[in-house]
Chain A
Amino acid sequence: MADSDRVVTVPIGPQHPALKEPESFMVDLRGEKIDAVRMRFGYNHRGIEKGCEQRSYTQDLYLVERVCGICSYSHSTAFVQAVEEIAGLELPRRARYIRTLIAELERIHSHLLWLGVAGHEIGFDTLLMYTWRDREQVMILLARLTGNRVNYGMNTLGGVRRDIAPEMLPEILKVVDSLEERTKSYIELAQTEQTLIQRLSHVGKLSKEDALRLGTVGPTARASGVDRDVRRDDPYAAYSDVSFKVVTADQCDVYGRTVVRLGELMETYSIIRQIVKNMPDGPIAIKAPRRIPEGEAVSRYEAPRGEDVHYVRGNGSEKPERVKVRAPTLANFSSVSKMLEDGYLADLPIVIAAIDPCFSCTDRMVSLRDGVSKDSRTMTWEEVSRMGIRWHRDRGLDFSGLRIRGGAGA
């Protein structure tokens, strides 16, 4: 091993095979041990919150759905719930049930995806291939139910856009049965496969006190023994009609987080069975006004990654005055540096992956100004554009003479 007194800095990210999105971790290493980690956000800011203020509520639904590629339905539902609360809309029962159904199907595909990514991060690619093959079943089912694999476009103000045909209900149960079988075999694998247990146990420790202090949410918190689940504590959609167990673990490590997610999958299958069995008849949506009255609301939603919080303020017009998204990754992110303390470099990918991070959902523009620094200044859009053209021209790239074939030309 390397000289244990020498500290080397390894840049994990912004571009690195372990990360699916750009994010920077500067890791100081002593030999193979981690000395310190400096994390940096902000490579993926997309200005969605600002974009929401410039669009109508209905358009915002589709924009907000694109906050995340995995838990798209979580963001869409959290947003629409906040707007419905401001407008005072009471949802039909069938709409509530359909929302719950799609939400739980999304949880299945998100947790199976996570299991595969976790396998890949510890070099267990067979697990990745198997879980993603099984995940395909639920993806196809979602495409059949909603018309889309990822961004379902199911929600609308006052209900859902598509009804679930009665002949689809047995199809849903069939997929659930098959996935339950597969999940049981993964649970058995997690309990018996020695290399898997060795790589996950006692890695990324986070005590219950730290989990509470750092404000972690979702499976990350529940694996540290924090018994919290918005679905039970503050029920929305049809969660007050179904019975389920909140899965917790006391291992406080990555293995615990795996156990919690696998346990949640089993609970999800039971929720879906109850929903399908008790699916009420009736309309799937009520008419919503175009103008949402003045008011504000905070909506909580248990996304697969943890509690998702949306804040919406209406000003009586067709467009919201302010939309604020707090993605679950933001709540969990601060715990990562705690988990990495005294860890190995080899454990860094799995520890980061264990919070099931979604960096681009989390990225916000924060600008801190001291008023003294000369480097920071505000530019208008035209100034930025001119500066970009000048920057490229100085380096020999000039597109001003470019003519687009078939088009009008510059």
Chain B
Amino acid sequence: MSALLNLVSILIFPGLLFLLVLGLAGQFVDRKLYARLQNRVGPPWYQPVADVFKLLGKEAVVPEEADRRMFTMAPVFALAAVIAAYLYIPLWNTAPVFSFPGDLVVVLYLLLIPTLTFFLGGWYSRSIFSTLGAVRSITQLFAYEIPLLIALLSPALLANSWSIAGMAAYYGAHPWRWMVNLLGFAVGIVTLLGKLERVPFDAPEAETEIVAGSFTEYSGRYLAFFRLAIDSEAIVSSSLLAAVFLPFGLGLPAWLGVIVYLAKVAGILSILALLRTVFARLRMDQMINFCWRYVAPLAFLQVIIDLVVKEFV
């Protein structure tokens, strides 16, 4: 019975199916908001779904030069890693599907895999644009991943628990203490832009320079899987930020909890859409400079704040 339940939670709720639906809905929110902020009409609500079905129906070309196995496996791995990460994040209560001490680090690790698959997929495409995009992806990773890691670990320091469920329980027991971590939340949002390769940190897929970066050679269902993985990654990482930095409303009844959870994710997605509206794309060197000069010190400042607060409460 419990094996069956696990299967249901992995494949249907809150796993694969639920996440894909949320991911596509999230893509719609992002695109519509981006369009409205730019004074455009934007797509209808079913456009993300239509795009997926269109891609699934298209011929999937694998370049002759490419390493076939790596090229076709990369999108699947990206999606699988994102779903696995989702199962460890508490959504509208303090209990995720699976949990163990230290799962925060595992979730961060799982969320690293999509970027690695962008690199591998691009690298093994063997096209010059893909290779450049792949190298940029991995270069950018070193700039944002460490500030993100530090920012996410500082609330854990305060909660004295390295499991996301444990942190949620701590902040549930001490309401308003999450306000201490707002700086970390800001760092998280900025680094998330890098993780999701959005403007201003979208140099790895800068259309006017390297066509589509790692995804240049991808088409058909392989591209569809990559796109789904990226959409889901946006939801999963927003949920992670919501769980770690905005841990309120977790003890509510389920229906209200779901609404609060969706509102949090929609809020984070809206901030991301707003940020990509108002900035120009930064060059690789400017991006790395920015992350190390401003974002990383702020993340360390958050650690110090948490250590100080922990000393006095």
Contacts and interface: CB of A to CB of B under 8 A. Distances in A.
Interface of A: 1-2, 8-11, 16-18, 32, 119-127, 129-130, 133, 193, 195-196, 198-199, 344-349
Nearest to A1: B139
B206 A2 contact: no
17 contacts: A1-B135, A1-B139, A8-B132, A10-B128, A17-B208, A18-B207, A119-B280, A123-B208, A126-B38, A129-B38, A129-B40, A198-B283, A198-B286, A199-B282, A344-B284, A346-B203, A346-B206
A125 B145 CA distance: 26
B215 interface: no
Contacts of A119: 280
B273 to A, nearest CB: 11
Contacts of B71: none
Contacts of B37: 126
Which of A11, A32, A130: most chain B CB closer than 10 A? Answer: A32
Contacts of B281: 122-124, 195, 199, 346
B47 interface: no
B209 A349 contact: yes
A117 to B, nearest CB: 10
Nearest to A12: B209
B297 to A, nearest CB: 18
Contacts of B231: none
A2 B210 CA distance: 15
Nearest to A19: B208
Nearest to A124: B280
Q: Secondary structure at chain A's binding surface: helix, strand, loop or mixed?
A: helix
B154 to A, nearest CB: 27
Contact of A126 (B128, B209, B210, B278): B278
A16 B207 CA distance: 9
Nearest to A122: B280
Interface of B: 37-40, 128-129, 131-132, 135, 139, 199-200, 202-203, 206-211, 277-286
Contacts of A122: 208, 280-281
Given A1-B135, A133-B39, A346-B209, A123 B278 contact: no
Which of A2, A122, A123: most chain B CB closer than 10 A? Answer: A123
Contacts of A10: 128-129, 132, 210
Given A122-B281, A130-B39, 15 more contacts: A8-B131, A10-B210, A16-B211, A17-B211, A18-B207, A123-B206, A123-B208, A126-B37, A126-B38, A126-B277, A129-B38, A129-B40, A130-B38, A195-B280, A347-B283
A35 to B, nearest CB: 14
Nearest to A18: B208
Contacts of B139: 1
Contacts of A121: 208
B264 to A, nearest CB: 26
A21 to B, nearest CB: 14
